[in-house]
Chains A and B, each alone.
Chain A
Amino acid sequence: QVQLQESGPGLVKPSETLSLTCAVSGSSISSGYFWGWIRQPPGKGLEWIGSIYYSGSTYNNPSLKSRVTISLDTSNQFSLKLNSVTAADTAVYYCARVRCTSISCYVAGPWGQGILVTVSS
């Protein structure tokens, strides 16, 4: 059974860098899926951040692109870095397994449980 678990600080100061890690168990991150990050501000809808393939290919949200880095780590993990954060980046951050084909890309799941990150001084 594939499981994903986010980890990282729950509080980040404005202008600093948000750093999260997603640990994958039950599947290798080189299994042919993409691995992605999605966020959800409190009481609001979902926003795509980006995703990465084991080859290093990424599909990122153009509106966040200059601030986002998604990378593959050792030990079957992948990570998210979002720099120059503001209060608008306060959200629940989910990692998830993503399937991308030549014409489509969707969050196949599973999803992590989500981690609330608050940006505040």
Chain B
Amino acid sequence: QSALTQPPSVSGSPGQSVTISCTGTSSDVGSYDRVSWYQQPPGTAPKLMIYEVTNRPSGVPDRFSGSRSGNTASLTISGLQAEDEAHYYCSSYTTSTSVIFGGGTKLTVL
């Protein structure tokens, strides 16, 4: 199984919005609401930010939102803050009952 495709890096200024894409196939991203997103600041364990494409766990700011179109999912962060600087990973359950991750995207807040 191949990793999901994410851009290596994105950047934005405080207060702006950024969107991170995650492209897979009809066997994973494009199949049901299977995509989740994780935030990983340097030196820490990842944290769940979005699950099942659009759902936010309790405690995650509503500045974080998810969507999907076909085989591509997206994470949008609005009102960028310095604390949002981190690596972001998408993930999807697959039809072969496994889980795959994207390669990760480094978000830089300028």
Instruction: Mark the stretch among A7-15, A73-81, A110-118 that contacts chain B.
Output: A110-118
Q: How many residues of A contact B (CB 8 A)?
A: 25
**Chain A residues with CB below 8 A from B51, complex form:** 99, 104, 106, 108
B99 at the interface (CB under 8 A from A): yes
A63 at the interface (CB under 8 A from B): yes
**Chain B residues with CB below 8 A from A62, complex form:** 1, 96, 98
A33 to chain B, nearest CB (A): 13
Q: How many residues of B contact A (CB 8 A)?
A: 26
B85 at the interface (CB under 8 A from A): no
In contact, A59 and B1 (Cβ under 8 angstroms): no
Q: Which single member of A48, A60, A108, A114 contacts B45 (CB below 8 Å)?
A: A114
Q: Which single member of A45, A94, A109, A111 contacts B104 (CB below 8 Å)?
A: A45
In contact, A45 and B33 (Cβ under 8 angstroms): no
In contact, A45 and B3 (Cβ under 8 angstroms): yes
B residues near A (Cβ < 8 Å) are 1, 3, 32-34, 36, 38, 45-48, 51-52, 57, 89, 91, 93, 96-104
